[in-house]
Amino acid sequence: MSVRVETDKGTGVAVVTLDRPERHNAIDLATVDELTAAWRGFRFDDSVRAVVITGAGERAFCTGIDRDAEVPQPQSPYSIDDPLVAVGPKTNDLWKPVVAAVNGMACGGAFYLIGESEFVVADESATFFDPHTSYGMVSAYETIHLAQRMPFGEVARMALMGTAERISARRAYETGLVSELTAPGGALAASVRCAETIASYPTEAVQGTVRAVWAAKEAARTQALAHAPQLIALGNLPPERQAELFSARRPGGFRVR
């Protein structure tokens, strides 16, 4: 199992951990299935009233899709199968509050999970970046999710600078992506404390508030996401060329802003 779920029935909080630290908690197809099952399972579990999503180990929260995952694609240029499109809680119709506890790197497809969480708690060692353009891929879903939380210029800079630049936890806090900073290693405990407080309130009021917050931006977000598959189909380099660029990357060749 690549996803670990621990539920405290006393507090009503479930902690979902991406448990692939040796792969920087990258998401393969099995992980997609396990996450989807977890989110949909929580819909029917009244003992879970709030959820925390985090990554195992100290090096990464999540680094997106596993580069070794094989995702068959339809031949039509008008269709694209994104394996992460249904990996988040809201896509699976879970309207219980979700807090993201970010440690280490969060990049690329991690923003599907961060983007469908209510808020983010990060420790001071966390960094955020989007490598898509560096490897000849369109950043569509990721930037749309981020644009709901950060100023336009910050989203554009992160996406367009690719692997050359990473946003520090402090800068992410300043721009609104992160709601709370903790000492290294403290993000999970701080997130659980928030979740426990939220879970202690009347369920109906909490879930109604979650829906209200999302309703404020849902129309624009839905419209933007509808364009994502076509933008990716038009702008992505062929997979073999992407692999060449990925293989030629220079570890450590970035600045932290």
Model pTM?
0.88
Number of other residues whose CB lies within 10 A of the CB of residue 245 = 15
β partners of residue 17: 4, 54
Number of other residues whose CB lies within 10 A of the CB of residue 253 = 8
Q: Taking the C-alpha atoms of 232, 257, 153 and 236 in order, what is their torsion angle to the nearest 10 degrees?
A: -10
What average pLDDT does range 4-21 have in this prediction?
A: 97
Supply the pLDDT for residue 226.
78
Q: Among 4-13, 91-100, 103-112, 135-144, whose mean pLDDT is lowest?
A: 135-144
β-pairing, 3-8 vs 165-168, is: unpaired
Domain ranges of the chain: 3-182+200-204+222-256
Mean pLDDT of the chain: 91
* pLDDT > 90? residue 45: yes
Note the pLDDT tens digit of each residue in 159-216.
999 999 999 999 999 999 999 999 999 999 999 999 999 999 999 999 999 999 998 8
What average pLDDT does range 47-53 have in this prediction?
A: 97
Q: Taking the C-alpha atoms of 253, 147, 191 and 37 in order, what is their torsion angle to the nearest 10 degrees?
A: -100
Q: Which of 32, 21, 95 is nearest to 60 (CA)?
A: 21
* pLDDT > 70? residue 77: no
Report the CATH fold assignment for 3-182+200-204+222-256. 2-enoyl-CoA Hydratase; Chain A, domain 1 (3.90.226)
What average pLDDT does range 69-80 have in this prediction?
A: 71
β partners of residue 100: 53, 120
What average pLDDT does range 104-132 have in this prediction?
A: 95
Q: Which of 224, 243, 24 is nearest to 139 (CA)?
A: 224
What average pLDDT does range 33-37 have in this prediction?
A: 96
Note the pLDDT tens digit of each residue in 227-238.
877 777 777 778
Query: How far apart (Å, rounded) are the C-alpha atoms in residues 71 and 74?
Result: 10
Q: Give helix then strand counts, H and E, for the chain.
A: 9, 11
Supply the pLDDT for residue 75.
75
Q: Which of 126, 127, 98, 133 is nearest to 112 (CA)?
A: 98
* Rg (the chain; Cα; Å): 18
